[in-house]
Amino acid sequence: MQDTIELKSISHHFDTASERIDLFRDLSCTIRADETLAIIGPSGTGKSSLLSIAAGLEIPTGGDVSFTIDGVQVDALTMRANSGFIFQQFHLMPELDAIGNLALPLRLKGNRDAFEIAALWLEKVGLEDRARHRPHQLSGGEQQRVAVARAFVTGPRFIFADEPTGNLDMHTSENVAGLMFDCARETGCGLVVVTHSRQLASLADRCLLLETGQLKATS
């Protein structure tokens, strides 16, 4: 059964003290779990808000969002429970070592094999020798690789990544981006990435441009 996110004529705005700022209006898009999707566009166009809406983290000010898992429509809470997230900031727990950070989401779900699964993912991202290192003992690229593995470790249906290479140098960005897309394709997980990087976006199966409130397919 296909897992999908359907955005139906969604609009979004926010209010300042003096005016209402419209980010976008009447956007429609279907996102499937068997594809990787990049969303690009200038700063301030609402890319991160669009990602949050698609992930069920934020409610649009207009329109509807529907989530389907295994052919059954589910609510936003269920969608979030079946999703993984990667951010520009690594958001690792500073008091936990690398394997502890990976095991945590599994332990919270009551998985008794949390550390064994975490160890497999550390190996997958090439950090098995850093298992007992805490975040401050890791480079930025290593921290983001841990964050990528943490997003995938629970076997989510979708991964949402907001500027995942924004804090990394070009060489490290390429490595992390390649790893992220490889993991998505290997696990069959849908990947939605917001990025300023055309190079990162070129790795996706499909790319959409958010500009002047409109969402357009781009090559």
- Give strand pairing partners of 12: 24
DSSP readout, 69-80? ETTEEE-HHHHH
Tell me the two tokens of residue 152.
């995938």
Tell me the two tokens of residue 181.
């897309």
Q: In what order do the strands lie in the sheet with 158-162?
A: 83-87, 158-162, 190-194, 36-40, 206-211, 214-218
Length of the chain: 219
Please report, in tens digits, the pLDDT of each residue of the chain (219 residues total). 589 999 999 999 888 888 888 888 899 999 999 899 999 988 888 999 999 999 999 999 999 999 999 999 999 999 999 999 998 888 899 999 999 999 999 999 999 999 999 999 999 999 999 999 999 999 999 999 999 999 999 999 999 999 988 888 888 888 889 999 999 999 999 999 999 888 899 999 999 999 888 888 886
Tell me the two tokens of residue 100.
């502890």
- Rounded to whole angstroms, the Cα distance separating 31 from 159 reads 12
Q: How far is CA 97 from CA 103, 109, 129, 134, 137, in A?
A: 10, 19, 12, 4, 9
Structural domains of the chain, count? 1
User: Which domain does 72 fall in, by range?
Assistant: 4-217
Q: What is the pTM of this model?
A: 0.92
Closest CA to 161 of 102, 95, 103, 86: 86
Contact 80, 156 (CB under 8 A): no
Q: What pLDDT was estimated at residue 219?
A: 63
CATH number, residue 129: 3.40.50.300
